[in-house]
Amino acid sequence: MRRVFLGNFDFEHQLASEVYAASGGGTPALNLQLACCWLGMAADGDQIYLPGSITSEFMSDLKTAGLPEVEWISAWPRHEEAARSEFVPWGWSEAVAKLADAQGFTANTPDLAAVKTVNSRSFSFACEREWGLSLPGSRRVENMEELEAAVAELPLQQAREPAWVLKANFSMSARERMLARGTGVKNPVRDWAKKRFAYQQPLFLEPWVQRSAEAGLQFEIPLQGDPEFLGIAVLLCDDRGQYRGSRICIDAQTRETWQPAIEVGHRVALRVQQAGYFGPLGIDAMQYRDDRGELQWRPVQDVNARYTMGRLALGFTRLLNAGQVASWLHFPWKESYGQPFSKWLRCVAEAQQSGTRWIATSPDQINGQTLHLVNGLLISETTEDLYRAEATLMRAVSALAETSC
């Protein structure tokens, strides 16, 4: 059955809007700019909803690179056609479930109350607490008094004022959170917290730790039967925790390194299934160094009962030959850089003269407007070549940003 992919990448905003009784979703521009990310999952003949136009040149480049030949649609198919298509959203919210029903799609919709439960930070926090996995000093707080008391109790970090992060019950990829330092709660954090407490929603205080490595553990939760572990995508993030890509085709040593987190991940997957959810599941795990410099685990950093960028990244493994490794990198782009993303990527690749393939997986423009979030796939014969290509690309992006200021 043909699949129709909807990129409601503002899924957590949709869940939060349901809680806050606000207008659903908050970032339609984000959904538009990330729609092409579904190329990691789509197969020939599938449809990707994209309310805009892309150039035939981009579609030709995708075909040349060996990516699937998909159909880009800006309007929903008629009911007869929709009934013969499987509807696949990024995540299941009430708004998306209503859309699928109204358009007549075939859809395997999980219980929406379960979706909201397992995607909340309350759920992952409870798992960490029950299993003794919480970060030292982490707290669930439900009002300003509890927040101020929890911040005041945070320990010093290497004899300095503690750095900490305050997260909303529904948040994603460095959004819906506030970073701060010290043992007091000042603006703008105070006002941000008050607004969320006004809706009777908890917030979650965590110490800001020195990340050593992060990975996305990918599972599929069936309606019946045991959860299936699909693989690992090592996460590449910047200093603020913003997602910058995934490294795929993990070797045996990396798999062994992350085995403690994978074992905990299986426990989380079972707990998610018991809550009534089925479908894609991503669990972000982290290694970090404590104040003594010792390596520690946080195996349940985030629980995402939806598709994730790591899951989409794993889909690109079908393009790889035996022994090859790859990274799918994401970064911001500006018109002030003075050239299209695809042209710039080709120039960087040609200057390298290496065996690494560089494939633009996002178009230069949608509806004639430059994309501000772009992504590209790097495919190498060895991990050493891949690491060099990653570093080269990131240096080139940084150089662009500096010269365009």
pLDDT of residue 238: 73
Mean pLDDT of 55-80: 94
Assess if residue 131 is contained within a domain.
no
- Asked if omega into 188 is within 30° of 0 (cis), the reply is yes
353 and 336 in one domain?
Answer: yes
The CA distance from 250 to 173, in Å, is 22
Which pLDDT tens digit goes with each residue over 124-149? 999 999 999 999 999 999 999 999 99
Chosen domain end from 313, 345, 380: 313
Assess if residue 378 is contained within a domain.
yes
357 and 297 in one domain?
Answer: no
Residue 172 confidence class, pLDDT cut points 50, 70, 90: low
344 and 262 in one domain?
Answer: no
CA dihedral of residues 285, 268, 249, 377 (deg, nearest 10) = -70
Query: Residue 125 in contact with residue 302, Cβ under 8 Å?
Result: no
Assess if residue 44 is contained within a domain.
yes
Mean pLDDT of 349-374: 90
pLDDT at 27 over 70: no
Query: Residue 183 in contact with residue 156, Cβ under 8 Å?
Result: no
pLDDT of residue 394: 86
Assess if residue 130 is contained within a domain.
no
pLDDT at 325 over 60: yes
Task: State the sign of the Cα–Cα–Cα–Cα dihedral 296, 302, 303, 308.
Answer: negative
pLDDT of residue 350: 87
pLDDT at 242 over 80: no
pLDDT at 25 over 60: no
Which pLDDT tens digit goes with each residue over 31-61? 999 999 999 999 999 999 999 999 999 999 9
The CA distance from 117 to 96, in Å, is 17
- Cβ contacts of 27 within 8 Å, gap of 6 or more: 9, 10, 13
Assess if residue 129 is contained within a domain.
no
Residue 405 confidence class, pLDDT cut points 50, 70, 90: very low
Chosen domain end from 271, 296, 313: 313
Q: Which residue has the tokens 């030949």?
A: 69
State the amino acid at position 14 in one-letter form. Q
The CA distance from 291 to 259, in Å, is 24
pLDDT at 402 over 80: no
Assess if residue 144 is contained within a domain.
yes
Ramachandran bin of 219, using left for φ above 0, alpha for ψ from -120 to 50, beta for the remaining angles: beta
Please give the tally of structural domains in the chain. 4
Residue 157 confidence class, pLDDT cut points 50, 70, 90: confident
328 and 307 in one domain?
Answer: no
Is this prediction's pTM over 0.85? yes
CA dihedral of residues 32, 36, 40, 43 (deg, nearest 10) = 110
pLDDT at 160 over 90: no
Residue 156 confidence class, pLDDT cut points 50, 70, 90: confident
pLDDT of residue 114: 98
The CA distance from 155 to 136, in Å, is 9
CATH of the domain at 354: 3.30.1370
| Average of per-residue pLDDT values in the chain | 91
10: containing domain: 2-109
Mean pLDDT of 256-281: 97
328 and 306 in one domain?
Answer: no
Angle at CA 73, nearest 5°, toward 243 and 221?
50
Assess if residue 126 is contained within a domain.
no
CA distances from 296 to 12, 212, 330 (A): 28, 9, 27
Mean pLDDT of 367-379: 94
Two tokens at 356?
Answer: 């690494």
249 and 153 in one domain?
Answer: no
The CA distance from 127 to 402, in Å, is 43
**Comparing 160 with 224, which gets the higher pLDDT?**
224
339 and 277 in one domain?
Answer: no
Chosen domain end from 313, 328, 358: 313
227 and 182 in one domain?
Answer: no
Mean pLDDT of 144-158: 89
pLDDT of residue 30: 86
Assess if residue 67 is contained within a domain.
yes
Q: Which residue has the tokens 């200093």?
A: 239
CATH of the domain at 142: 3.30.1490.20
Residue 250 confidence class, pLDDT cut points 50, 70, 90: confident
105 and 19 in one domain?
Answer: yes
341 and 305 in one domain?
Answer: no
74 and 10 in one domain?
Answer: yes
Residue 20 confidence class, pLDDT cut points 50, 70, 90: low
**For the chain, what percent of residues have pLDDT higher than 90?**
76
217 and 306 in one domain?
Answer: yes
